[in-house]
Amino acid sequence: MKKVVRHLLRVSGAFAPFRLANRNKALILMYHRFTPHEDGAATSARAFEQQLKYLKTHYQVVPLAQIAQQLLQNKSLPPKLAAITIDDGYYDAYEIAFPLLQRYQLPATLFVVTDFIERKTWLWTDKLKFMTPRTTARWLEFSLNDSLSRMELSDARSRQLAAAQINAWLKTQSNQVKEQAILKIADSLGVSLPEVPPDEYRPLSWREVGAMDKGGVAIGSHTVTHPILTRIDEERLRYELRESKTQLEAVLGRAVELFCYPNGDYDQQVVREVERAGYRCAVTTDYGLNEADIAPLCLRRLAAENDLSRFAQSTSGFEAAKLRLRAVRRLPTTKAAADGAQILQG
């Protein structure tokens, strides 16, 4: 325990100047999956508890709706604001994250996919992750961008990589192409996809959703089926936004005004429809902290790092400053340099 305390003090001190410089920018953290043990991917219970301690010490952790209200009223942001958000609605948010949030008396927001909660569907990004470990095939042949890709499935690492690469490509496709491609891949791998979410991708129940909402974890919408909103037509877009809101309001007995863009994808049309549907605040996956002039429907977030040192580095604004510095170094710094760059570019 003493080692943990010393580590927390060392980490917090190292990035104190950056927390001070960014004290009037709101930090919004993004989580997805939680696990009882370290697995390198999901946030472990140990890491989450360390992060909650760190946040409680260095920030004023408030409901996301409170940050939205400040922005909507065009008020300056109080110093050291932070909010915790969790996407999708997996059961582990209730099993692991919720008890720790209650123990440390910290609020959060959970964005749920309503058909996932209803067990009518499961998240399409999980289907490739489900298939590749279960197939006996040693190779996966798949047409990517009109060229045939052949991916080796020799070990756990190669199977994870194949799933990640195909998911990345599917995110660029229309909803119809994506769904057809998933079925075709399942057939080629000889894997039967369950109609309901398997245990490893278990969603919350409505009872658990209600318990979390009453217990300090505000529930927001993450659409009905989790499509990429920039890849669907206007009618489907409106359905995904409004039907999920209606379902949640019926279950929770209150207005639902918080929204999360699936995969973080949005454009002007999507933002307009989100506003028309009655949402007052929406979070993206755009990287960064939030200043007082940011649009409440385009809030930035930081993905929570598992390692505490990297978590402190990222949340302090140090990482963003480092990225900005790298960008500046790549730009011409004098007129002569700029003229030279233009000549080289033809």
Dist CA 212 CA 230 (whole Å): 30
- The model's confidence at residue 143, banded by pLDDT at 50, 70 and 90, is confident
What pLDDT, on the 0 to 100 scale, is given for residue 336?
43
Report whether pLDDT(146) > 80.
no
Please work out, in degrees rounded to the nearest 5, the angle formed at the alpha carbon of residue 192 by the alpha carbons of 187 and 197: 130
- Give CA–CA dist 314/189, Å, rounded: 39
Average model confidence (pLDDT) across the chain: 89
* High-pLDDT (> 70) share of the chain, %: 88
CATH topology for 2-120+198-327 is TIM Barrel (3.20.20)
Q: Looking at the DSSP assignment, which residues form a beta bridge with residue 104? A: none
For residue 76, pLDDT over 80 is answered with yes
Does residue 211 contact residue 157 with C-beta atoms inside 8 Å? Answer: no
pLDDT at position 41 is 81
User: Hey, where are the domains in the chain?
Assistant: 2-120+198-327, 124-189
Burial 108-125 (b: 16+ CB within 10 A, else e): bbbbbbbbbbeeebbbbb
What tens digit of pLDDT does each residue of 77-136 get?
Answer: 999 999 999 999 999 999 999 999 999 999 999 999 999 999 999 999 999 999 999 999
The pLDDT assigned to 325 comes to 66
Q: Enter the pTM of the model.
A: 0.88
What pLDDT does residue 20 have?
A: 87
pLDDT(52) > 80? yes
Q: How confident is the model at residue 335 (pLDDT cuts 50, 70, 90)?
A: very low
CA–CA dist 134, 50 (Å, integer): 34
- How does 165-198 read in b/e, with b if 16+ C-beta sit within 10 Å? bbbeebeeeebeebeebbeebbeebebeeeeebe
Interval 162-171: pLDDT, tens: 999 899 988 9
CA distance 338 to 331: 8
Q: Which pLDDT score, from 0 to 100, does residue 341 have?
A: 35
* Confidence check: pLDDT of 142 > 80: no
Neighbours of 247 (CB within 10 A): 19
pLDDT digits (tens, 9 = 90+) for 234-292: 999 999 999 999 999 999 999 999 999 999 999 999 999 999 999 999 999 999 999 99
180: left (phi over 0), alpha (psi -120 to 50) or beta: alpha
Which band of pLDDT confidence, cut at 50, 70 and 90, is reported for residue 337?
very low
With b for 16 or more beta-carbon neighbours within 10 A and e for fewer, the 15-52 pattern comes to beebbeebeebbbbbbbbbbbeeeeeebbbbebbbbbb
Q: pLDDT for 283-334, tens place per residue?
A: 999 999 999 999 999 999 999 988 999 999 999 988 777 776 666 666 554 4
**What pLDDT, on a 0 to 100 scale, did the predictor assign at position 344?**
31
